[in-house]
Amino acid sequence: MPKPFADARSIYHVIEPALWAPSVFNSQPWSFRITTDDRIELRANVSDNAGARRGRWDLLLHTPAPGPWAREYAIGCGAALMNLRLAIRMLGHDPVIALVPAPGSDPGLLASVEIVAGRTHEPKELEKELYEAIRQRHTDRRPFSAAPVHPGVLVEIERAAAREDGWLRVLHGPYARRWLKASAGADAAIAVAGRGTAPAAGDSWGLAGGDGRDTAADATVIAAADDAAASGCLSYDALLHQFRDELTQWTGHTEDGCGVPLTASGPRPARANAPVRDFSLGAADSGSGSGAADSGIGSGADNWSARARARRHAQRERFERHPQLMMLFTDRDDPADWLRAGQALQRALLTATSLGVSASFLTQPLELADLAFRYDPQYGRLHHGPLPHHANWQQDSRNAVDRRGYVRRRILGSTPWLEVPQMVIRVGYPKVSAGQPDIRTPRQEPEVIDVRCVPAQRVIRPPEPQPPEASRPGRTDHRLTAH
Ligand SMILES: Cc1cc2nc3c(=O)[nH]c(=O)nc-3n(C[C@H](O)[C@H](O)[C@H](O)COP(=O)(O)O)c2cc1C
């Protein structure tokens, strides 16, 4: 069996699969450091790498910046870690993982992967299947077939997550409908943010419901917004505005190999409360649909000519009538839990892929919950004190970690879930139709540092091995054709 970190080629052989993990807005917030012949670190991508957009690891790094990204970044890194583990197993080695997010001592360090020396064994069939699925998996934001995913398959996906300490549960009927509504409401809230027209934070989530009664989640977020305003920080709307600005940086343009390209963002949904995110932030929807679209305020909406709108609407597609949503929970909500969530998510996604099931994500309401609890840069604690609006709050908020998770736990109702929600995925069988555009999302060159050399060196991706002369396409073998 080859040595994992002998040279650039063997290093990239292990790292390459990790790069194909999902990450929020394709931000690829990871980097790698080889520390010994049998140890590699997974790190946050926080260096000022020429050409690469920096991840905003606010929560871990204690820097003043808006956004809920740190948690989602960590989830993406957890997914990359899962792929890294599989890549090492494919070489016959056993990886020993230590989840060590250590904001205090080494802010960039997330996990250390040690390779057990002197012992190799063949990868199992399951490991091979998951490894195969790494390059096949991608986020599929197109409509799925109306046929529901077989319950046995859903159980397999749930079990895959459970192997990594992630609890994946199907959101049934009313919960699924409310999540779709909450997601559309979050999209609309983000689209109108900073325009002086944003509704109260709770309403903007679409969670208040047709009966006009605010849910506990609404009240929690409104309370958080009030607290932020009272403590002299930015208003909730201003935070949302910053969040929106950052979001626009990640969507549409992918020249440097990160961000979500328009080709991957899927068709415009025909109905409101669609099971996919609105990456246009309302711009493409003006004139019909939901949220920002209805208000006509969506960014750039005014620039759309009537003809362009009509053409866009003609391209709308119907999504499955009953989207199948699954929510991923963890026991707690500290950075190690986020890395666990990422590994569980990736094992579940790879299992789904290997069973012919596609997946996309619907995480906006969780992001807005995080946003309401932005970080205190000086003390590493939340801005908000205990929220007086809830009787249960005091006993439930032992520390900042619990408080942050608590808002997400209450998102869909007054009875909090026992565990902390981290992600929501939509699963389904892909519709097969010919001539569909390539929806692969690009990747950027990762930062890989080898600290075994003095001084430490960046490991450059080696050129692809050239096929042997005779088999290169377009070359005529004159020895065969001359006579
Ligand atoms: C934590 C996390 C949150 C995400 N949230 C969303 C989302 O709300 N909507 C969406 O369409 N995709 C979401 N994604 C998917 C990413 O946009 C996607 O992984 C990235 O663009 C790379 O594309 P790929 O998954 O096809 O390789 C999320 C991914 C992660 C890891």
Note the pLDDT tens digit of each residue in 47-103. Answer: 655 444 555 554 454 444 445 568 898 999 999 999 999 999 999 999 999 998 766
Mutate to test the pocket of ligand 1, among 82, 138, 139 (most ligand atoms within 8 A of CB): 139
158-180 average pLDDT score:
95
Q: How far apart are CA 206 and CA 368, in angstroms?
A: 12
Lowest mean pLDDT of 290-304, 357-371, 420-434, 452-466, name the range.
290-304
Q: For the residues 161-173, what does the mean pLDDT come to?
A: 96
**358 alpha carbon – ligand 1 mean position (Å):** 13
- Closest ligand 1 atom to residue 362 Cα is 8
Cα–ligand 1 centroid distance for 283 (angstroms) = 20
449 three-class SS: strand
Closest CA to 444 of 51, 141, 139: 51
Query: Residue 239 — pLDDT band, cuts 50, 70, 90?
Result: confident
Per-residue pLDDT tens digits for 347-400: 999 999 999 999 999 999 998 887 776 643 322 333 333 333 333 333 334 455
Given pLDDT bands bounded at 50, 70 and 90, which one contains residue 263? confident
Burial of 370 (0-12, 13-18, 19+ CB in 10 A): buried
Q: Is 24 in the pocket of ligand 1 (CB under 6 A)?
A: yes
Nearest atom within ligand 1 for CA of residue 342: 31
220: pLDDT strictly greater than 60: no
Q: Is the CB of 361 under 6 A from ligand 1?
A: yes
User: Does ligand 1 lie within 6 Å of residue 441's CB atom?
Assistant: yes
Tell me what pLDDT residue 311 has: 55
Q: Which amino acid is at 181?
A: K
Least confident piece of the model among 10-14, 162-166, 473-477:
473-477
Our measurement of the distance from residue 131's CA atom to the centroid of its chain's CA atoms, rounded to an integer in Å, reads: 20
Whole-number Å distance, alpha carbon 52 to ligand 1 midpoint, is: 18
| Residue nearest ligand 1's atom 21 by CA | 26
Domains belonging to the chain, first-starting first, are 8-138+443-458 (3.40.109), 151-428 (no CATH)
Structure tokens at 425: 């995925």
Instruction: Inform me whether the pLDDT recorded for 187 exceeds 90.
Output: yes
What is the band of 435 on the pLDDT scale with cuts at 50, 70, 90?
Answer: low
Residue with the smallest CA separation from ligand 1 atom 28 is 24
343 lines ligand 1 (CB under 6 A): no
Residues 6+ apart with CB under 8 A from 266: 141, 142, 276, 360, 439
pTM for the whole structure? 0.83
